[in-house]
Amino acid sequence: MINQTAILVIYTGGTIGMVQDPKTLTLRPLTFDILYKYLPVLENFNCRIDFYTFDPLLDSSDMTPAFYIHLAAVIEEKYEDYDGFVVLHGSDTMAYTASALSFILENLNKPVIFTGSQLPIGMVRTDGRENFINSVEIAAAKEFDTPIVPEVAICFENKLYRGNRTSKFNAEHFGAFVSVNYPLLAEVGVHIRYHKNLILKPNFKKLKVMKTLDENITILKLFPGIRPEAVEAILHTDGLKAVILETFGAGNAPTTPWFLDQLKEAVSSGIILLNVTQCKGGSVEMGKYETSVGLGKIGVVGGYDITTESAVTKLMYLLGCGYSTDAVKQLLQNSLRGEMTV
- Active-site residues, by number, are 15
Reported as type and span, the H/E element at residue 8 is: strand 5-11
Residues near 318 by beta carbon (within 8 Å), at least 6 away in sequence: 328, 331, 332
Whether the bond between 56 and the residue before it is cis, its omega within 30 degrees of 0, is: yes
Residue type, 173: H
Cα–Cα distances (Å) from 125 to 117, 154, 214, in that order, read 11, 21, 41
Beta-bridge partners for 168: 177
Q: Which residues in 140-252 belong to E strands, given as ranges?
A: 142-143, 146-147, 152-156, 159-162, 167-168, 177-178, 186-188, 192-194, 208-209, 217-221, 242-247
Residue 209: name the closest of 97, 317, 312 by CA: 317
